[in-house]
């Protein structure tokens, strides 16, 4: 499973990249705003800065919601860097734009997926990735992992090449469960990724190894 980090914070992206486990980055307008990145030129430069830190794909989201606007913005974003994947919302105009981008060899990530039907439409349009938001489904008492499972079954039934990018990951167990289901990618905060490191028996075991080693010095 590929590990993407869901942030526009350059320090966190560097930290994940330095760990040697990072395969890409996802951003969204909320995450860009959180970092105080405003204005078209600053936003574009920030995407380039992210691409220069990480080796893999970097999702950059369009703001437009009309077909022509999505195409114009998406083409400009894709031209910024070869690692850019154009993130397009799951709306009718977005599906149409994904079909266009696909025909032009521009890679896409269809975002705000909350149902298997939406995932199927985006895959048929030729999306490179689809992003089901499992944490936000959990937030409304709906099983987000079940959606990942349904989409996995559908994509496997028809050999869709579209990758399932499990998004809105909130904690390490989401990552483990997505890996068990067979999500192609997960994107989450650095805290959920580094939480995978932790086990009290590792800490106790290491402490004992070092103490025993010190006795022999």
- CA separation for the pair 190, 128 (Å, rounded): 24
CB atoms near residue 143 (< 10 Å): 11
- What's the min distance (Å) between Cβ of 165 and ligand G3P? 9
34 is catalytic: no
Applying CB under 6 A, the residues found at the interface with ligand G3P are: 6, 26, 28, 133, 135-136, 167-168, 187
Nearest CA to 93 among 64, 120, 116?
64
Q: 26 or 128: whose CB is closer to ligand G3P?
A: 26
Q: Which helix (H) or strand (E) holds 200?
A: helix 200-215
* Catalytic-labelled residue, pool 87, 96, 124, 180: 87
CA atoms within 13 A on the CB side of 38: 2
- What's the min distance (Å) between Cβ of 59 and ligand G3P? 8
Q: 191 or 202: whose CB is closer to ligand G3P?
A: 191
- What's the min distance (Å) between Cβ of 133 and ligand G3P? 5
Q: 125 or 185: whose CB is closer to ligand G3P?
A: 185
Q: 134 or 211: whose CB is closer to ligand G3P?
A: 134
- CA separation for the pair 109, 163 (Å, rounded): 9
- What's the min distance (Å) between Cβ of 187 and ligand G3P? 5
Helix (H, G, I), strand (E, B) or coil at 71: helix
Residues marked as catalytic:
87
């Amino acid at each position: 499973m590929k590990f993407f980090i869901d942030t526009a914070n350059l320090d966190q992206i560097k930290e994940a990249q330095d760990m040697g486990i990072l395969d890409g980055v996802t951003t969204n307008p909320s995450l860009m705003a959180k970092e105080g990145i405003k204005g078209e030129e600053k936003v574009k430069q920030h995407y380039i800065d992210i691409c220069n830190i990480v080796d893999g794909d970097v999702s950059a989201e369009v703001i437009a919601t009309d077909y022509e606007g999505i195409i114009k913005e998406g083409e400009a974003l894709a031209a910024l860097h070869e690692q850019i994947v154009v993130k397009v919302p799951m709306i009718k105009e977005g599906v149409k734009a994904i079909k266009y981008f696909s025909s032009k060899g521009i890679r896409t990530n269809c975002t705000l997926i909350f149902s298997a039907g939406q995932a199927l439409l985006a895959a048929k349009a030729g999306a490179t990735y689809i992003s089901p938001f499992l944490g936000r489904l959990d937030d409304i008492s709906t099983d987000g992992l079940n959606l990942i499972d349904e989409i996995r079954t559908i994509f496997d039934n028809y050999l869709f090449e579209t990758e399932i990018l499990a998004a809105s990951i909130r904690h390490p167990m989401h990552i483990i469960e997505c890996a068990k289901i067979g999500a192609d990618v997960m994107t989450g905060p650095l805290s959920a990724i580094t939480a995978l490191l932790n086990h009290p028996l590792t800490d106790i075991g290491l402490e004992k190894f070092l103490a025993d080693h010190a006795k022999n010095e």
